[in-house]
Every structure is written in C-alpha cells, then in structure tokens.
Structure 1
Amino acid sequence: MNPRETVFLRAAAPLALAALICSGCSHKAAETDASAQPAEVTPTVQVASARRGTIEDRLGASGTLMAMRSREATLAPAVAGVLEALPVRVGQTVTAGQLIARLSNRTLLGQIDQAQAAVQQNQVQVQQAKVNALQQQASSRSAILQAQAALANAKATQGVAEATLIGDEAAVTNAQQTLARTQNLFGEGLVAQKDVEAAQAALRTASATADAQRQTIAAQRQTVEGQRRAVEAAQAASLQDVVKRQDIAVARQQVRSAQGALETSRAQLTLYTLRAPLAGQITAVGAAPGEAVDTTVKLATITNLDVLQLQMFITSEKARALHAGQTVSFQTDSLPGKTFQTVVQTVGSQVDATSGSIPVLATVANPGHLLKDDLYVKSQIVVDRHVGALLVPKSSVLDSADGSHTVVTVTADGTAHIQTVKTGLREGDDVEILSGLSASDRVITLGGYGLPDGTKVTVAKAEAQP
C-alpha cells in the first residue's frame, strides 16, 4: 500500500462514520425539503511556502566555565612571620604589581640600616685611603727629587775637584821639570844654590796642593756615594705608594662586601612583600592581619577572568562528529536571556575515566567579566550547517511508521496532493527537504492530515509563517 492510499483510508474512515450517523435523519430531511441537495464541503487548510534558508544540526551538552589555570595565581609567603597587612578582599579587582600582603619586617629593616651605615663608613675609608696615597706619593716624589739634586750637586763638586787635581798634578810635573833643569844648571855652575832650593820648595808646594786636592776628591766621592744611597733610600721609600694603593683596594673591597650585605638584606625584604603577578580578581583569602603564617598558608588567590575555559563532556559516539573550529553557543541561568558564542578548541582523544565521556574544550573571551569561574552552562555545538537548504515547517511533515515522510501540497487551483519527500536536518520548527519538493510549492501546515490525494481545499487567507 502506497502512502497516498494510506492517507486516503485514514481520511475515508471518519467520513464513513459520519455517513452512518446521519443516515437516520436523511428521510426526515427529505420530507422537509425533497428538492434540497446537500452542498459539497471543501476543507479549509493553512499553508506555508517552502523556502530557502540556513539550517543547523546542533548537539546539546552541559558544561562548566573555569578559569584558565595559566591565568590563576595562589600567593603564599616565602618566609614565616606575622602577617602585618592584607589590603585586599574577595571579589576585588587588582592590577599586576599591586600590593597583596606584607609580613612584619622590623628586624630586617634594622639590618638594612646597619648595612647602609657600613657602606657609608667604608666609602669614607676609601676616600681617606686615597688622600693618604696621594700624600705619600707627593712626599716620596719630593724626597727622591731632593736626593737626586743633592747627588747631582755632589757629582758636580767632585767633577770640579777632579778637574782641579789635573791642574795641580800638572803643576807638580812642571815643578819637577823645573827642579831638574835647575839642578842641571847648578851642576854646570850656571845657577846658584838658592835657585835649586827655590825649585825644590815650589815642587813641595805643588805636591802638597795636589795631595790636598786628592783628599778633597776622596771626601767628595764619599759624599757622592752617600747621596746615591740617599736616592736609593728615597726610591725605596716610594714603595710605600704601593702599600697605600693596596690600602685603597682593601677599602674598596670592604665597600663591596658591605654593599653585598645591603643588597642581600634588601632582597630578603622583598620576601616579606607579596605583589600580584598578574591582573585579575581576588577569588580567595586565607589569612588575616596579625596571624602567624608560614610558607604553607595560601594568603590569596588571584584569578584572571579575561579568558575562561569551557569544558564539556560528550559521549564518545557523539564526539566523532566534533572537531576544532565548530561554533558553540551556551547559556547560563545566572544570566537569563543572554547567549554567548565561541568555537571548539580541542576534542579529547581519550575517554574520561570518571564520566566515561570525551572532554571537549573551548576558550571564551570574557572582557566584561560577566561570566564567573566554576559556572554551570548549557551549550549547543553546531555539528552541521546547510546554507540555502529547502525548508518547510515541521507541522507540514507527516511521519509514517515505516520511516517514510510525506507532505501535502496545494496547487494553484486548490487541489491537495500527497508528496513523498526525503528529509534532512531538523532545527526548531524547520525541516530540511532533500528531495520531493521544490521552492515554489506550498505545503499544508494545518488540516492536511487524512486528506485524500486530489482533494479540493480552501486555503485560509492568512498563511502560516514558515
């Protein structure tokens, strides 16, 4: 039996029943007006035109919005101590670098003051060492110059004495020669004895003068040697310059050591202050000022809600149709009437042991922070989307037990025809028609059930909107 016969039989049954009910009164009607003929009844139906449009296949799923773990920070102290300040509260928005907590650090501040004083003291010692070195250098240079000048003067005096000795020795030689000539002349009787004696006296005088000059030169040589030793002593004393420069190096090293101690104390000071590593919202506070805390205490949790992660769990069978890039829309009871959209980011490859489902993840931009962490949502994932599909209202499609589908069309002359169609996607009140219908056809949306094929119908004036 074809679909048209099925529809015809469904329509004929109620008509036959109506005929039996009215048969008892037919004679009475004939007696009243034998000439009256029963008017033909034309069913009134509502129709809609098939249209082209977009239809989507959506997969519904529940999910949870969560803060991105990479955008969340839990702050705990790096050292044990007493919590001095915690100037934030749950729900407060903070910026990166903002003070979150401070531990008492009075002892450390005292150590920093001492370290600063030590740095300043050692810097003064460096300056004093420089002054001492300059003074020592000037003194050493002056002593060397003076010794060198005295040595030069002694050498000059020695030179003069040696030059004088040469003249004196020449005088001795001349006196010796004069004495020899005089003695020869005396032997020849040419000069008197007194002339010989005078020559002898002159020789003695010249020799005495030369001997005295030699003694002077010997003494001057000792003076020169003494001045040379004085120069060497002054030069040796200048080695103290090196010692003074070493004093400067030692003082500078002491400054560096003091600065290192100061920097260490300042670095430790940062351990007593906790600042926000990222901008976000305070979602938890775990202590109060005045409490003793250690490194295990979570003082505050900061969550950045600019981007959230939507986690959905889909059965492995349905997850086969999912892939990255598919559109996801979702709603939450906390924001009624608002719909948010994102896209699938990843589809898990392994079944979750707890839920037995595949995790599907998406990131959600949240610039106004309307959405909160750990928020339950109802989502729909667009699995398929057909653009330009032929669509008819769901009420116009008649589903048979054998899985076939029919619609009843109405021609321009008001004749109803049963059409077997192949359906595709269904969304809301729309059904996609893959074959058996064209865009120019009108389909009955109300009153078409049970109509025999070829029945004349009256179309209601207001067509139902598809």
Structure 2
Amino acid sequence: MSVSSSQKKPSRGLLWLIVGGVTVVVIVGVGLSVRASESRDLKTWTDAQALPSVNLVKPVVQAQGPVLNLPGRMEAYSRASIFARVNGYLKSWNVDIGTRVKAGQVLAEIDTPELDQQLLQARATLASAQADEHLAATTAKRWQAMLATDSVSRQDVDERTGDLTAKQAKVTAAKANVEQLVATKGFQHLVAPFAGVVTARSTDVGALISAGGTAGKELFAVADVSRLRVYVQVPQTFSPQIREGTTARLSVPEYRGETFTGKVIATADAVNAASGSTLVQLLVDNPGGRLLPGGYTSVQFDLPVQADVLRVPSSALVFDDKGMRVATLDSQDHVHFKTVTIARDFGDSVEIASGLQAADRVIDTPPDGLADDDSVQLAVASAEAKPHG
C-alpha cells in the first residue's frame, strides 16, 4: 500500500506540470496571435491614413437653360419733334403735354404778318405778269395778221412772238412763287404727323418763332406709345443665342411682380468694340400706355439648354501654372487632372464649356500636393454639384 501511494504522487505532479506547460504555451500563442493581428491592423490603418481622402461630385447638365438678365432702355415706337417752317409769333396752342392727339390734329397756330405781305406782293406780281402776257399775246396776234399782207417784216413778228413767250414764262414763275408762299402759309398750323401723345411743349403764346430745324427750337414733341422699342446691349458670348423672334420678359420698377412680353425684331449684327456687346431691339405692346418711353427695364432671356455644358462646384477648380484644371478619378481611384474652359461663373458653381465629360468623377476641393496617377480613397459617396439659382 505504501509503494503504490508513493508512485501515484509523482504521476500526479507530472500531470499538473504538463497541464501548466500547455496552458503557458496556449497563453503565449494566443498573445502572439493577438499581437500579430493588431500589428496587421495597425499597418493597414497606417497605410490607409497615408492615402488622401477625397470627396467626389458628379458634373450635371441643367434641366433648363440659364436666364440672361440685362438692363434695357425703352423708347417710343415713333417720335417726332415739331419745328416751325415759317417765321412769326405763336398765336395760340391747343394741346399740352399728355394730350392724346390724332393724325393731322392742329397743335398750334403761328401768326405770320411778314409772310402775309409777301403773299400779297406775289399775287400782285402775278396779276401784273398776267396783264403783260395778255397784252403781249394781243400784240403778237396783230403782228401775225399784218405779216400775212406783208405789212411788217418777219423780224418784227418774231420779236413780238418772243416777247409773248417771255411774258408767259414770267407768269409761270409768278404762279410758282404764289403757290410756294401759299404752301408755306399752310405751315402756320402745326399739326400732329401721327396719332400719339404730346410729350413736350416748349413754346407759349407770343413767343418769337424762327423757321427751320437748325436755327429754330423744338416746339412740340409727339410720340406713338401704343408700342415701345426696347434696346438692350447683349454680350458677345450670348449674341448667337438671341436672334429675331426670340421672346423676353420685361419688368419695370413701378410695377413690381408684373412682367411684360417682348419680342426681338432686329439685331445690329455687329459688336461694339468699346463694350464688347451687340445692340438688340425688341418690340413690346403698350395698349394702356403703362410703360413709359425713356424708362429703364430689366430684360430676361430664357437661353436654350446646352447639352455639352456641365456644371460643377467652384471648389473643384484648380488654378496653377498649368492653367485651369479639375481633378478626376479613374476606375482604380487614380487621379487624373484635366484642363477645362469656363463658360460662366455663378460664384458657388461654374459651367464648364470644354475638357470635361458627364461621366467623369470630379474631386471636390482637391488636397494640396495631389498629382497625376496618385492613389486616393473616397471619404464620402459622390454627389451632384449644387444647382445655382
């Protein structure tokens, strides 16, 4: 019994020693495995942190074309300055500013005493010339009769006939002079050349009137405001998109929230070298006379959608010694810079005219030092460029 008990004690101690050794080995193995895993994770994290993180935006084509807003100037469809054609004094005026007039309506009358005397003198001269012509005709007729009996010479008859012709010419000239003065006398009444509204009156009763548009001054101004012409300077960039027949919306400060429709009726087809713009003329109906000639208007053109023009945020642009560029990613997340041309700048976004495709993945706010073929990682999912209102 004593021998058997002594043999069991070493066996039990050896067992515990083996179990302890195995436990230590397991613990060490697990520790080494965990450390190796952590080391791999650390290396992976370190490698990941070494790659720049970027955000992507997607170039977009606008659903509708842009709106071009330009200042314009409104003018009457027709405007006539009324000047005097005769000298005298203003006898009376019948209309004032704001008066609606019809074509041919008398605006004012001029007293023309000097012209009246000239007309009397011209008529007297005509009567005298006619009397001389009648006497010359009678004399020539008599001398023609005497020539038949050879009582007078052919030379004398020719002289009388020539005198008659001269007297007839004087009558014709006197008649023309009278008719000219009568026509001039007709200008003592100032009349409206067309239906419209009187926009200016710069004379009064008793004022001295001088004839002519150079020496004289404008007495009245009449304007046809049933329609207005609107003149707009369109930048050269947009001139091909605005042609005859293009419609526009007009707004004026006095009618806030209300718009009027105009249509392009003519373009200058030439660029002003000083302003870099071309003159465009629109026509807008004004039946109620609400729009005022000479006033300011804001003109809005709805431009057509350009399929080849893409919009991206302004933050995606990179401007350096190589020009204006954007950074894009290929399918392997490698960087490729593309040179682009800007069509329009809206502040928070820009329209790209060339150098970019709709399928390109564009990096928003590229990190400093980024170069072609660099590898990057995506920070967030790609998003579209924000539309500009």
Q: Normalising by structure 1, what TM-score?
A: 0.44
Query: Which has the higher mean CA deviation after the structures are superposed, 235-244 or 285-294?
Result: 235-244
Matched, 1:286 2:206: no
Which of 54, 61, 68 is the equivalent residue of 2:70? 61
Q: Which amino acid aligns with 2:222?
A: I
Q: Which amino acid in the other structure matches residue 350 of structure 1?
A: A
2:273 corresponds, among 341, 347, 350, to 350
The 1-side partners of 2:209 and 2:152 are apart by 65
Write out per-residue CA displacement over residues 189-209 of structure 1, whole angstroms, 9 at most, x where no aligned residue: xxxxxxxxxxxxxxxxxxxxx
- The one-letter code of the counterpart of 1:107 is E
Counterpart residue number, 1:368? 286
The answer for the alignment partner of 1:75 in structure 2 is 82
1:417-436 superposed matches below 5 A: none
Matched, 1:339 2:260: yes
| 1: CA distance, partners of 2:271 / 2:194 | 29
Q: Distance in 2 between matches of 1:367 and 1:62?
A: 18
Change (3 A) 1:129 1:349: closer
1:322-337 mapped onto 2 (5 Å cutoff): 322-326=238-242, 327=246, 328-335=248-255, 336-337=257-258
- 1:256 — aligned with what? 172
The residue correspondences of 1:214-293 to structure 2 (distance < 5 A) are 234-236=150-152, 240-266=156-182, 268-269=184-185, 272-277=188-193, 280-293=196-209
Deviations 1:139-169 (Å, cap 9, x if unpaired)? 553xx3xxxxxxxxxxxxxxxxxxxxxxxxx
Match of 1:298 among 218, 232, 247: 218
* Structure 2: 5+ residue stretches without partners: 1-52, 318-325, 327-342, 352-357, 361-379, 382-389
Aligned to 1:445: none
More helix by percentage? 1
Query: For each residue in 1:56-90, what CA deviation from the matched residue of structure 2 results, as whole angstroms up to 9, or x when unmatched?
Result: 2113233332347xx43323334542112333332
Q: For residues 15-34 of structure 1, what are the structure 2 equivalents within 5 Å?
A: none
Q: Measure, in 2, the Cα distance between the counterparts of 1:360 and 1:268.
A: 44
Counterpart contact for 2:249–2:259, Cα < 8 Å:
no
Shift of 1:260: 4.0
The unaligned stretches of length 5 or more in structure 1 are 5-51, 145-233, 353-357, 390-398, 405-423, 437-451, 454-466
Instruction: Find 1:308's aligned residue among 219, 224, 229.
Output: 229
State the shift of 1:380 in Å.
Answer: 2.1
Paired positions, count: 261
Q: Shift in Å at residue 127 of structure 1?
A: 3.1
How far off its partner does 1:331 sit?
1.5
Q: Report the Cα distance in structure 2 between the residues aligned to 1:76 and 1:284, rounded to whole angstroms.
A: 12
Quote how far apart the aligned CAs of 1:287 are: 0.8
Task: State how far apart, in whole Å, the 2-side matches of 1:401 and 1:251 are.
Answer: 95
Give, as a single letter, the amino acid of the residue that structure 2 aligns with 1:115.
A
CA separation in 2, counterparts of 1:72 and 1:56? 37
- DSSP-derived class of the 1:289 partner: coil
Closer, same or farther in 2 for the Cα pair 1:338/1:245, shift >3 Å? same
Q: CA deviation at 1:235?
A: 4.0
Q: Residues of 2 paired with 1:304 and 1:321: CA distance? A: 34
Letter in 2 for 1:265: L
Displacement of 1:308 in angstroms is 0.9
CA RMSD of aligned residues (A): 4.6
Q: 2:262 touches 2:285 (CA, 8 Å); kept in 1?
A: no
Change (3 A) 1:240 1:349: closer
- How do 1:74-153 residues align onto structure 2 when only pairs under 5 Å count? 74-94=81-101, 98-141=105-148, 144=149
What is the rounded CA distance, in whole Å, between the counterparts of 2:316 and 2:99 in structure 1? 62
User: How high is the TM-score relative to the length of structure 2?
Assistant: 0.51
Cα distance, 1:272 vs structure 2: 4.0
Whichever structure has more strand as a proportion of its residues is 2
Deviation at 1:373, TM superposition (A): 0.9
Shift in alpha-carbon separation, 1:80–1:325, aligned structure 2, 3 A: farther
Which secondary structure state, in structure 2, belongs to the residue aligned with residue 385 of structure 1? coil
Q: Is the 8 A contact 1:84 1:103 kept in 2?
A: yes
**Percent of aligned positions with the same letter in both sequences?**
18
Sort the Cα spacing of 1:379 and 1:246 in 2 relative to 1 into closer, same or farther, 3 A.
closer
